[in-house]
Chain A
Amino acid sequence: MDSLTLLLDGFATALTPVNIAYALVGVTLGTLVGVLPGIGPAMTLALLLPITFNVPPASAFIMFAGIYYGGMYGGSTTSILLNTPGESASMITALEGNKMARRGRAAQALATAAIGSFVAGTIATALLVAAAPLVVRFAISFGPEDYFALAVLAFTAVSSVLSRSVVRGLAALGLGLVIGLIGIDQQTGQARLTLGIPQLLDGIDVVIVAVGLFAVGEVLYVASRLRHSAPDVIPVGRAFLGRQDWARSWRPWLRGTALGFPFGALPGGGAEIPTFLSYAIEKRLARGPGKEEFGKGAIEGVAGPEAANNASAAGTLVPLLTLGLPTSATAAIMLAAFQQYGLQPGPQLFDHNPALVWGMIASLFLGNAMLLVLNLPLAPAWAKVLHIPRPYLYAGIITFAALGVYALNASWIDLIILYVLGLLGYAMRRFGLPIAPAVIGLILGPMAEIQLRRALAIGAGDPTTLIRSPIAATLLALSLLILLLPAARHLLRLRRGRAT
């Protein structure tokens, strides 16, 4: 009850006209940078850090929180409409979302993403209030061996994304793994696959890979086919969710939230893995029309991952506020902002600055509501983007893609990498290699490698450390089960067939 009164006080802080204005600026800016490929919330916050010299802390954090949540919202829009995710966290949304858009269900996909994000954001923020200490204890107990097991589980779970052609899926995955190796090896500090180019020492930013393979690759592919066939006209269709869409969306929203929140709280959990897992789970659980639609534009495949990536954003705030432990790039910059004000996040923060903390939490609820109001009516309007003549639309995409990537580091070498990856993305499309597994490999590969090596180093080389923790053992057993289940079922069917 005590937190409830504090939260009400928080609303009093957040609901002053000035702070509402900051929240509005934050969510609008956040949505914008989410829509633009390449520029993400982390970079926006970093660029806005100097405002901490002039703006009172509560207002600054209310705006920052708005940017963070807004960025998570905005990312889905381009994924769904144009198959050009601007962030790795909204990549999975593109898989089903863009197929929905091509079938004239863009507005529905955008709506389920917006409402799902709202539901997930609200529930996760409530969990942030209620369950923070519990979640933190769980997050801290995660050791490198557990992360390794988690990565293995994610690898096996997303194998369902590659299922149409296993060989092509694995080839794309391998490509991602190789790209992930480029740069300084974190454990030994040695350079790998950098070809003597100093700009490659820090590796290739996952944003550049995602934007290059998805956005630039898509643009080149569409451009290459413009002359061959008249572009098919995409119907925008009916605006809002029908009853069946609601019925098919609400469970994935909740499941996505349940996955995303704890992952956000894990240092190194990130927003991507819960979206992979959510997609895999929804695909397996789908029944009826959803089962047939998966791969052709199933609403479940948009609802789940979108909820997961929003819930993880709230999850990230748990260790940040309670321990001063940043678990994502954006959170690390928020921590820097706290320190600019001479504040150290941690248990003391809740006691010493309740107005600030609870004002920020209240502003998260407020920002979420604002985003829904902002985005839901916009869904049919956004969907009309598809009516822009392709040459203009795709020229615009490539401009913004280059702009976003150049803004990352202000490095022209990044632009060259972007276009090389764009050509690769084009070639992959041309020869039927799926794009998503490459980015999945890029994200999971380095994580699996570094955590495996850390676990073994801490255990002084003893491989049994990998299964000694109950969490790791459970996760690995689960992965084994996923791998063996289809084989076992197949075997069973064979035997039964022989018996009859």
Chain B
Amino acid sequence: MRTRPGRLAALVMAAAAAVLTTACGAGTDAGSGSTALRIMAPAAPGGGWDQTSRTAEQAIKAADPARKVEVFNVPGAGGTIGLAQLAGEKGNGNLLMTMGLVMVGAIEQNKSQVTLAQTTPIAKLTEDYEIVVVPAQSPYKSVADLVAAWKADPAKIAIAGGSAGGTDHIAAGLMAKAAGIDPKRINYIAHSGGGEALNALLGNKVAMGISGISEMSEHVKSGKVRAIGVTAPERVDAVDAPTLREGGLDVVVANWRGFVAPEGISEADRKALTDLVTKMHASRPWQDAIKKNGWVDSFQTGPAFADYLAAEQARVKAIIAEMGLVS
């Protein structure tokens, strides 16, 4: 009798796996030989990390047809559930996890037991800069207008953006700090991503909105919202807008994405993974995807990425604390 629950669970899992693999059909290679590379998307299917992982899968297959690649999803808590699972794979040289700025924030905010220190940084892949917009009916035309009103009464400037502690929120905090406003006093209205924040802007319910450029550029072009500035160091092609720096707000922040591997992998494995990702980055499908999705190519490996990661962690930790977001 005692074995029954275990057997049932095994059966269920096997059946679920069967359903999932058949449903994936065209997408995944179910082969699980020892050389199969597994890429973890620490989010539900359909989101940004999932998209990056699946694009990488296709690109690696194109760059190295002999290589077996498989993407799997471990959603939850800003990616920290996936991070915890990665920590249990110490020394596994055939595993990559897609991650990015949002995970850095979530680790701080959720006081995650596992941090990025327990991973091996492999590469930074892409960046998506943020854009600050106002409703089409808004009186604010420039960064200066907006900052003047914001300084006068921070509570009156409701800011629509994505989840609390996410890239948009971090950008809002950094902007407040650069403008000389206490980041604790900003009136940030978190939305569950998707269209909710955009809807608040289209309906002229909030004073400003912060979002990724690729999500917002079409609505700027059609005149539904007005672009105030982008958080890039220089102007970008995707949208006709000045940088925040030009407007006097020294803020540069990007929603970047990259790969990390488990900690404790051998030097040879680290090199092999870096080489593979470098080859993937040069491949045609990857370059096409960058163009199609409006990503900024910011490929970086080795110590350069490790340093970048460390700097981002320090910056995010500080601003999240200053905004009073740590529980």
B196 interfacial by beta-carbon distance below 8 Å: yes
Q: Mark each residue of chain B from 9 to 37: 1 if its CB lies under 8 Å from any CB of chain A, else 0.
A: 10011011001100111111000000000
- A141 close to B203 (CB less than 8 A): yes
Knowing A189-B163, A411-B76, A457-B158, say if A198 contacts B194 (CB, 8 Å): no
Partner of A326, one of B27, B158, B194: B194
- A186 close to B187 (CB less than 8 A): no
Chain A residue numbers with a CB within 8 Å of B12 are: 399, 402-403, 406, 415
A325 interfacial by beta-carbon distance below 8 Å: yes
- B27 close to A50 (CB less than 8 A): yes
**Chain A: CB-nearest residue to B25:** A51
A324 interfacial by beta-carbon distance below 8 Å: yes
A464 interfacial by beta-carbon distance below 8 Å: no
- B80 close to A198 (CB less than 8 A): yes
Q: Mark each residue of chain A from 186 to 206: 1 if its CB lies under 8 Å from any CB of chain B, else 0.
A: 111111000000110110000
A-B contacts at CB below 8 angstroms, number: 169
Chain A residue numbers with a CB within 8 Å of B47 are: 336
Tell me the smallest distance from the CB of B204 to a CB of chain A, in Å.
9
Residues of A in contact (CB 8 Å), total 65
Q: Which of A242-250, A285-293, A344-352, A383-391 contacts B (4 or more CB under 8 A)?
A: A344-352
Q: Which of A39-47, A92-100, A232-240, A358-366 contacts B (4 or more CB under 8 A)?
A: A39-47
Chain B residue numbers with a CB within 8 Å of A108 are: none
B292 interfacial by beta-carbon distance below 8 Å: yes
B51 interfacial by beta-carbon distance below 8 Å: yes
A327 interfacial by beta-carbon distance below 8 Å: yes
Residues of B in contact (CB 8 Å), total 63
A336 to B110, CA, bound (A): 28
Tell me the smallest distance from the CB of A472 to a CB of chain B, in Å.
12
**Chain B: CB-nearest residue to A399:** B12
- B293 close to A339 (CB less than 8 A): yes
Chain A residue numbers with a CB within 8 Å of B187 are: 457-458, 460
Chain B residue numbers with a CB within 8 Å of A143 are: 200, 203, 205
- A409 close to B44 (CB less than 8 A): yes
Tell me the smallest distance from the CB of B209 to a CB of chain A, in Å.
12
Chain A residue numbers with a CB within 8 Å of B164 are: 184-189
- B219 close to A346 (CB less than 8 A): yes
B287 interfacial by beta-carbon distance below 8 Å: no
- B163 close to A319 (CB less than 8 A): no
- A324 close to B163 (CB less than 8 A): no
- B45 close to A49 (CB less than 8 A): yes
Partner of A191, one of B13, B73, B163, B327: B327
Mark out the residues of chain B between 153 and 200 whose CB falls within 8 Å of any chain A CB in the assembled complex.
155-156, 158, 163-165, 169, 187, 189-190, 192, 194-196, 198-200
Partner of A50, one of B24, B109, B156, B195: B24
Chain B residue numbers with a CB within 8 Å of A142 are: 199, 203
- Name A's B-contacting residues (CB within 8 A): 39, 42-51, 53-54, 139-144, 184-191, 198-199, 201-202, 267-268, 319, 323-327, 332-333, 335-336, 339-340, 342, 344, 346-348, 399, 402-403, 406-407, 409-412, 415, 454, 457-458, 460-461
Interface pairs (18), CB distance under 8 Å: A51-B25, A144-B200, A188-B164, A189-B109, A189-B163, A201-B77, A267-B196, A267-B199, A323-B198, A325-B195, A342-B292, A403-B19, A407-B19, A409-B74, A410-B16, A411-B81, A457-B189, A460-B155
7 new A-B pairs (CB below 8 Å) besides A43-B45, A53-B27, A202-B76?
A140-B202, A189-B163, A198-B81, A267-B199, A327-B195, A409-B44, A410-B72
The list of the 7 closest CB pairs from A to B, nearest first, reads A50-B27, A189-B164, A46-B45, A325-B195, A201-B77, A46-B46, A458-B158
